[in-house]
Amino acid sequence: MKEEYVNAFLAPAKLVWEKELNTPLNLVKAEAVSHQYTTEDITAIIGVSGSLRGNVLYGFANGSAFSVAGAMIGEPVTELDDMSLSALGEIANIITGNAATHLAAAGYECNISPPVIIEPAGSRLTTTGGPQIMVSFNSDLGELKIRISLSEARGD
């Protein structure tokens, strides 16, 4: 996977997190990981099509999920109901949309799908397309893990 695909998510993640949640998001590390994945407590998956194809997975531990959903909704969250899960999907959607804009500026026109939320933790997913890059962040609201699995679309 090309570095520019991953880099397209770094600045948007930090900017969107700060704007929407009013707290800084700090990069911890980025590493290549297997295409087989066991989900976090809450995982939002967004599909990518167009010049690039694949998936972007956003993982939240329960504590982070409650904090992020509460910040998005504007009130404390005591359970992860439909509204809370929608808020988590929306933060993933906004970050991916901004990344798609960066990728388009680099010549990779992309479309993104609506987020799909997977819960609870421990669901095993296998993505096609080879290894993924997992970028880990932390903030006062908790951790965010973004798994990026993108490759150039082949002509059909």
Smallest CA-to-CA distance from 41 within 115, 117, 148, 93 is with 117
**Residue 149, SS3 per DSSP:** strand
pLDDT for residue 129: 65
Q: What is the mean pLDDT of residues 86-99?
A: 96
pLDDT winner (highest mean) among 32-46, 89-103, 107-121: 89-103
Please give the Cα distance from 71 to 27 (Å, whole number).
Answer: 20
Q: Could you state, in order of their start, the residue ranges of all structural domains in the chain?
A: 3-150
CA distance 52 to 74: 35
More confident site: 34 or 129: 34
Smallest Cα–Cα separation from 50: which of 115, 111, 133?
111
| Secondary-structure class of domain 3-150 per CATH | alpha beta
- Distance of alpha carbon 51 from alpha carbon 54, whole angstroms: 10
**Would you state the pLDDT for residue 155?**
62
Q: Is the dihedral of CA 112, 134, 5, 2 positive or negative?
A: negative
